[in-house]
Amino acid sequence: MSPAIQTRASATNTLPRRSALKLLGAALALPALAPLSHAVDGKPLWKTAVGLNGFQSGTRKYGRNYPIWEVLDFASRNHFDGVELVGDWPSGGYPGPDEKERVQALRGLYDRYGLRIFSIQLGADGAFDPDEPARQRWLQEFRERIRLAKQLGCECVGMWPGGGLRGQTIDQAIDRLAKTFREAGRIAGDAGILACFEIEPVFVFNKEDHYMRILHGADHPSLKGIYDPSHFDQMNGATGKPEEMLQRVGPANIGYLQFCDSDSTLRDGGTSKHLACGDGRIDCAKSLQILKAGGFRGWIMADEWEVPDPYDACLKCKRLCDSVGRA
């Protein structure tokens, strides 16, 4: 779910791991998960990550406090491989790619916990602006974000094309977005990064037809979709069977997952309701089996957007991924 976090190094950034564990003991009485068993040629089938968007949204929606060191220690103890950052949590925005000390401090924070920053979330409303100079300005900003992502060690970036039509038709907006995303794919691909997009009910792009036209209109090997079962469920008629649309899109066109369950309803904010795996009506294992059979070997982020207990949602997601990965 939408763009957002991270980050100015703070006093907590230098907290030693041993001290963090002591502080965390009583606060997080959650069982640690075992590492994912090796499934293919001695390597893990896929990599799992914690999404900071769930903690960001929980702070805003439920007024709860999630210290960043607590989140990262939880992810490390439970053998997650990485984290996806959002642009306005826990403090400030992303550093610029030329702010070397801030970039090093940010990456160093996650390195200390043995976690990779696999992706950063980015807005993309400017990517379909009817004004050509505005679209070019977005591409220039995207170039800078890719420079940052490269320095942070990312394999992906996520893009969310929110915003209104601004006087254009939906067909014009899709054509402009696909053209801009083709260039974004080229820029990202040159840096060895996947540019991945997501659409959802609150956007003007919110139908399967829109998804397909954006994906195939961009037509670049480094431009792929994000698979979020709750959003695919809505685009598939809220049937509880997002895997049907996943099969039509094809696993080869998925860059990474923002994984969750859903009850096929919308949150009060208008987007798809995200639930912990097993708490909704979706057969989450079926999606993973389709992706596994289709050769998907990328990142699976536990998407805890506005879930009351994001720790619980992360654990349920990882347990399912490990189970299907071992099967």
* Sequential pLDDT tens for the chain (327 residues): 554 433 333 333 333 444 444 334 433 444 455 554 445 565 779 999 999 999 999 999 999 999 999 999 999 999 999 999 999 999 889 999 999 999 999 999 999 999 999 999 999 999 999 999 999 999 999 999 999 999 999 999 999 999 999 999 999 999 999 999 999 999 999 999 999 999 999 999 999 999 999 999 999 999 999 999 999 999 999 999 999 999 999 999 999 999 999 999 999 878 999 999 999 999 999 999 999 999 999 999 999 999 999 999 999 999 999 999 987
- Give the per-residue pLDDT at 11: 32
pLDDT confidence of residue 22: 38
pLDDT at residue 41 in the model: 62
Structure confidence at residue 269 (pLDDT): 79
Query: What is the number of alpha carbons within 13 Å of residue 116 lying toward its C-beta?
Result: 16
Tokens 């974004």 locate to 184
Beta strand 254-259 pairing with 47-51: unpaired
Residue 240, classed as helix, strand or coil, is: coil
228: closest CA among 295, 305, 294, 289?
305
**Beta-bridge partner residues of 69:** none
Residue 152 near residue 120 (C-beta atoms within 8 A):
yes
- DSSP H or E stretch at residue 190: helix 170-190
Distance separating alpha carbons of residues 119 and 133, to the nearest angstrom: 27
Helix axes of 310-326 and 52-62: crossing angle, nearest 10 degrees: 150
Catalogue all structural domains in the chain, each as residue range(s) with its CATH number.
37-326 (3.20.20.150)
pLDDT at 53: 96
Residue 94 CB burial class (10 angstroms; 0-12, 13-18, ≥19): buried
Give a three-class secondary structure readout of 96-146: CCCCHHHHHHHHHHHHHCCCEEEEEEEECHHHHCCCHHHHHHHHHHHHHHH
Taking every pair of C-alpha atoms in the chain, what is the biggest distance, in angstroms?
Answer: 57
